[in-house]
Amino acid sequence: MTKQKRWLVAGWAVLAVAALLWLPYRFSVAPTLSDSYLFGFNNRVGIAIVLVFGLGIAVFAPGFGISATLPEGEKPLSRSTLYKALALTLAASGAASASSTSRSTSSIA
């Protein structure tokens, strides 16, 4: 990748982060029971920004010489390993969600 392309990628990343940290606070938020409402962060605008910049990366990445191929001699992970990692992640996420739900309902009572 040339130096000019590196600066372009870095500028795109800085612009994405700046937009994500600034723009969602500039749009009004519908009253809801969430931390986003308390801080004035519009989740819909934040998601739109992530989608727009993600799409930009997907469209322009091939021109920057970025590829997702494995280096020579590397083997991809087996499907069983990926399924085990997914199950472990979902189990940990479910346990954390159940724990936070039980804490929030016990504080209400």
Q: Which residues of the chain have pLDDT under 70?
A: 1, 63-67, 98-109
Give pLDDT, residue 43. 92
Whole-angstrom distance, CA of residue 48 vs CA of residue 56: 12
Give pLDDT, residue 25. 93
Whole-angstrom distance, CA of residue 67 vs CA of residue 12: 18
Give pLDDT, residue 57. 81
CB 50 within 8 A of CB 20: yes
